[in-house]
Structures are given as structure tokens and as C-alpha cells.
Amino acid sequence: MTIREFKMPDVGEGLTEAEILKWYVQPGDTVTDGQVVCEVETAKAAVELPIPFDGVVHALLFEEGTTVDVGQVIISVQTGEAEAPAPAAAAVEAAPAAAEQAPAARQPVLVGYGVSESSTKRRPRKAAPAPAVAAQNGTAAPVAAPAPAAPAAPAPLPAVPAQPSGERPLAKPPVRKLAKDLGIDLASVVPTGDGGVVTREDVHAAAAAAITPQAAAPAATPAAAPAAVAAPVAPAAVDASARETRIPVKGVRKVTAQAMVGSAFTAPHVTEFITFDVTRTMKLVQELKADPDLAGLRINPLLLIAKAVLVAIRRNPDVNASWDEAAQEIVLKHYVNLGIAAATPRGLIVPNIKDAHAKTLGELSESLSALVATARDGKTSPADMQNGTITITNVGVFGVDTGTPILNPGESAILAVGAIKLQPWVHKGKVKPRHVTTLALSFDHRLIDGELGSRFLADIASVLEHPRRLITWS
């Protein structure tokens, strides 16, 4: 029997710490390869961590609510592997040599594999602090759970050229879950990703090639976690006589604060406003809701606003860019990853719809619905919030007319959509009640000058005022 340690992995791009929200296992529990053992919250999202080996939980090194640095051991597991001194020693001796020969480029770190030894500077391991948090209920000593008989090793699978025998296939948690749902053994999948990583496309290809499709096995799914973990908004009990309450700033709220300060004092913001008549767009929304071809899809003004933004970007492609400070270059993007600001219990997040420019109205509706549902459930992944180009924030849902939004870092512009209200409006020479709204566009003045920003905003308004331009300008 051996004790194996599982370290806090880098679940995002270069994140340095994560807070343990919930443990799904306790000392003495049996765990299997790929089973989710805890949920952690990074600066970007809440992520479930699967354990990469079988065994019995020996100890939990940190309690729920503790913020842990990437690379620290968070759980130890007693495995049924027999001691093998010679091979183990050889592996240990080979590791430094392999690290020296590895290229300098940072290798992607996958959840469940810990932190690459060669990619980060390791801090000296301390003797006492790690066990300071008890394995359970403040007891530092490991829980002496009866060790069940070691599970029999699975029969070796046929060797695949891209997956050397004896090595665990590299894949991210969503890909592992997809493979499990489809009944595909990752060891039999030929990886095409960088560094031999199995991608979603590889799994789908393997499933398509299977002779007998296998239905997803509900029983194979680990015990489901609660739909949402309560956000650390306020202490459980507050003294009614207290004049102040201090709330720790961490997780999503912490990184949002840092990002907003960085953006506000790095990118020179300019904000322009336009108020206009959207009555025709509101009528079109009702017509599309009654269209049988769009039955089952969520049709609302935000969908047509998103489509109007995409049409305006096509007419003004230079707005879709980013600023490379190191290279002193403007990077024009030939794709649109459209961000949608979402308020969640954990704070503001901005997931984005990848390649929104290439989607039909129906596909855009499906993507918007999925994005909102995932954000509401607190399951937005870090990948869903990366590489955005332009963002929409809908402040109108709160009855607000307009605002001066701050750019999402790395993006060129953000559009604030105000409340749509019936107002007296001059239409065809007469004052009539019309649906009116105000848009506010903030943009990076290094990338977008006044003329370009004004034309872009005017085009968005023009499409929404005369929605037939969704066709004529496309």
C-alpha cells in the first residue's frame, strides 16, 4: 500500500490559488479514477476537481473555505499499488533529467495532474503548516479507515501509438466526462491535441468509429454536487447592533475588482450614447416568437441586439481588435467572441459566445440560453471566459436607462443596453408612444478613434431602428 498525494492544480491560465468550496469525500471513503472529490473557486469560476487514481481517502489537508496555493497537496489517498522500489527509484532519478531536457515553453496543466515540475518555481516544503488543518474535525492524525482489498488492476488495453503503454491519457475534465458519458476508454483514443492531449473532437471521432454505440451510464456519474454553492456574501449571523460588517474579498469578486481597476487606469476609455426608437425591433421579436421555425428557442430583444452588434462589426471590422502593449501592435481579430456580462451569486462574470459571427439567429439564441443557464448554475468554466473580443452588458433588466461601462480587460469595446420603455416620440411628424432605449458604448481610444466609435454605435442603432438591415447589411 502506498500514499499518493493530489495537489491543487492550475485550473485556469496561470492562476495561483483557489478556494476549496466543498469536499465531496471524507477520510475512509473509496474513490475511483476520475471521481470528483471537491469543488474549488478560482478567480474566474467554480471548478470540480477529479482525482486521477483509485484508492481510499487517507486525509483532507484543508478545510472548506480555505484558500490554497496552486501546487499544495490538498488530499492524500491510500492506493492498492504494491511498493516497487527499483522502478520507483528509477522514475525519481529520471524525473530531473526529463525536466532539464524539456522545452522552456509552458506546458498546459490539466485538472487532475497537478502542477508541472518544470514549469513553476517550487517553494520549499514546510514541515508543519500543511497539516495545520486537520484531516477531519481538527484531528491532525490520518483517519485509520479499514483499507478494503485493493481493486484488481484492469486488463491492459491494446496499445495505441499516441498513448504509450502504462501512461495515463492526458485530457481535461470536460473531455473525461464526455468520454465516460459516451462509454469511450480514453486509453484507446488517439490524441491530436498539443502535447498528446485528448480533445473533445478525438472522443467524438472514437465514438463515431465504435461498432456498437454505448448509451451514457447514469450510474457512472459521481454523486452530484449541489446545484450551487452559497456565495460568501455575508457572515451567517450578524450582530444587529454592529455598525460595520467586513466581508473578505476573494474569488470572482476579487479578480473582478483587480481587472476593473487595471482596465480603468490602462485603457483610455471613451463613452458615447445614443437614444432611439426600437418599436420595429420589438414587433419583430413578437413575430419571431410566433415563427414555427424558431419554436423552442428563446427570442428576446437581447438576441436581436447581439445580432445587430455582429452586423455592425462586419461593417466596421477595425473595432474588433486588441492592444498588444509588449509588441506595440494592434491585433485585428477576424472572429468575434461575443461576451455577455452576467451577474451571479459569486460576482460579475463575462462568459463569451465563441465565433458568434458565424452563427445563425437560431444558433445564437441557443448559445445565449446555454451561456445564461450555465452562469446561473455557477458552472461557467474558465475557458468560457477567455479570449473575448467585445462585450454586451444589459443594465436595462434592472430598469436602468444607461451607464458608462468599463471595458473587460483585453477587449476593445463594451455596449451597455438600457431599459426599453414606452415614451412620447416624434414619429412621422406626430408625437406617439414608441418603444425607446439608450445604448452606451465605451471603447479603448488607443484602438478606436471617435469617428470609428461613432459609426459603429450609429450602425447598431440603425439596425435596431430598422431591423430589415439585419438582412440588407448582412
Which residues are designated catalytic? 445
Per the CB < 8 A criterion, the answer to whether 415 and 391 are in contact is yes
How wide is the angle at C-alpha 380 spanned by C-alphas 442 and 202, nearest 5°? 115
Per the CB < 8 A criterion, the answer to whether 309 and 464 are in contact is no
147 vs 37: CA distance, rounded Å: 18
Task: List the grid coordinates of 56.
Answer: 481510499
The CA–CA distances, whole Å, from 185 to 151, 177, 210 equal 18, 11, 11
Rg of the chain over CA atoms, in angstroms? 26
Enumerate the β-bridge partners of residue 413.
390, 443
Task: List the grid coordinates of 334.
Answer: 477576424
Task: List the grid coordinates of 390.
Answer: 467585445
To which residue does cell 463575462 refer? 350
- Name 196's Cβ contacts closer than 8 Å, sequence gap at least 6: 162, 163, 170
Sign of CA dihedral 255, 258, 261, 265: negative
Q: What is the largest CA-CA distance in the chain?
A: 92
The CA–CA distances, whole Å, from 59 to 24, 69, 310, 335 equal 13, 18, 52, 47
- Strand-strand pairing, 55-60 and 73-79: antiparallel
Per the CB < 8 A criterion, the answer to whether 193 and 205 are in contact is no
From the list 225, 230, 229, 222, the residue with the least C-alpha distance to 29 is 222
- Name 375's Cβ contacts closer than 8 Å, sequence gap at least 6: 342, 344, 349, 351
